[in-house]
Chains A and B, each alone.
Chain A
Amino acid sequence: MAASYAWFLVLGSVFLVNLMKTLLPSISSFFSRLVQKDAEQESEMRSEVQEMKKEQLSISMMDEFARYARLERKINKMTDKLKTHVKSRTAGQAKMKWVVNIVFYILQAALMVSLIWKYYADPVTVVPSKWIAPVERLVAFPTGVAGGVGITCWLVVCNKVVSLGLHAVS
């Protein structure tokens, strides 16, 4: 009737899903770094701006105004370019985060549905029904097996326990 280790399979799946959920931000940042290859260009621009600013500090505005003004314009132009670059990078990161989240939630939903589909009629484990009286029907839902622990009850319990455990660890 009940698969021997069904309870362990469900527990393991729930644990993996919750673990992935906690790691989602790092996964999305990893994928962002993979996709966006022009990070070096940005750091080059930043260093260039810093160097120009250093140079500008060494110039006296009174004595060499034209040079100062030229440098100022260059700095402004480079800063604007850098801002545009940063903006597009952050937009790309946000998009990647959104995509990763969507994919994760779809996979999670698919996993949960498949587990429920598989163990719809079979309880994940069976105990004597008097042990879990008077809520044996609720616990056994949707299997209807006396003393059985249904997939829905076990999923809820595992989810709660795993989230508590991961929260305590993190």
Chain B
Amino acid sequence: MEPGEASEAEAAGSVSAAQRRAEIRRRKLLMNSEDRMNRITGFTKIEPEIKAAALRRPTEPRFHLDLDRTEPWSSSSSSPRPSPFLSEASGLVSRSRGATPERRGSPVPDSEPLGGSLEDDIGGIRPKPRGERVSDDPSGSPRRGLQKYLSRFDDAMKLRGQMANEKPDQDGGSEPEEFDPFIIFRLTGSILLAVFVRVFVCTFLSIFAPFLTLELAYMGLSKYFPKVDKKPQTTVLTAALLLSGIPAEVINRSMDTYRRMGDVFADLCAYFFTFILSHEILLFIGSETP
């Protein structure tokens, strides 16, 4: 072979190598363009996780706490959080249609994230539940349990956000409960009845009989009074009850029952106090008069 031909062959080889390298670079750039867009819009945290996890565990479902979802969790929720720029994930995009990049950091749309702890919590729950291995079992009970847990966690996060919003409104932990007209009516009625019973009735029967009658009357009269919409107070207790699996409806009803019992107790205290006070005043007046 002549040197000219050899050099031409080398040049051709180097050109083809250069072309190959250029081609590889071009492909790399094209593939990474979506990554770059995701990074620009703030999807950097998820993408590598999704990719890495996809490489490692392709069959394991990924759960994302999406507060806007209205449809129930289904077993096919093996969808990573997509970026708007992933054209291939069109089937997955429908899962988190309402999600925006801004919501990633906060569990509750209206609340601000509380320092870094909320992010950590979300970050802690967002990845794959490691202990929970999703099998191909068609019954799906571990999955259901996991979904139930996640929905409860969802509620707890919402509650936490709500409490964080309500905290500045409450000063020093005291409950700013307003007196509604019915409570004032009840108390006034109890006081008046106590005085009446002390003066006229107590010698004939027990003082608690008229009180019970009064409470029965109040139960009937309550519907004629305007209902004051009491804001449901979210406390640590209600959050703990929610997390422990008790449905919110049961909690609300129990709280309502306890509130009514508290009203009855307040009536009883006012009644008994007024009775004793009027008894002592009458004794004092009786001792004063010759």
Contact = CB atoms under 8 A, between A and B. Distances in A.
Contact of A132 (B187, B208, B265): B208
Given A7-B276, A160-B266, A160-B269, A131 B206 contact: yes
A113 B191 CA distance: 29
Interface in B81-109: none
Interface in A60-90: none
Contacts of B73: none
Interface string A142-170: 00000001000010111011001001100
A135 to B, nearest CB: 7
Interface string B267-290: 001101100100110000000000
B280 A7 contact: yes
Given A132-B207, A134-B206, A164 B270 contact: yes
Interface string B177-191: 101000000010000
Given A25-B172, A125-B276, A125-B279, A164 B206 contact: no
Contacts of A164: 187, 266, 269-270
A7 B281 CA distance: 12
Contact of B280 (A125, A161, A167): A125
A133 to B, nearest CB: 5
A127 interface: yes
Looking at chain B's contact residues, is the secondary structure mostly helix, strand, loop, or mixed? helix
B118 interface: no
A37 interface: no
Contacts of B273: 157-158, 161
A28 to B, nearest CB: 10
Nearest to B184: A168
Contacts of B270: 160-161, 164
Nearest to B179: A168
Interface of A: 7-8, 25, 125, 127, 130-135, 149, 154, 156-158, 160-161, 164, 167-168
23 contacts: A25-B172, A125-B276, A125-B279, A125-B280, A130-B206, A131-B202, A131-B206, A132-B207, A132-B208, A133-B206, A133-B208, A149-B276, A156-B269, A157-B273, A158-B273, A160-B265, A160-B270, A161-B270, A164-B187, A164-B269, A167-B177, A167-B179, A168-B179
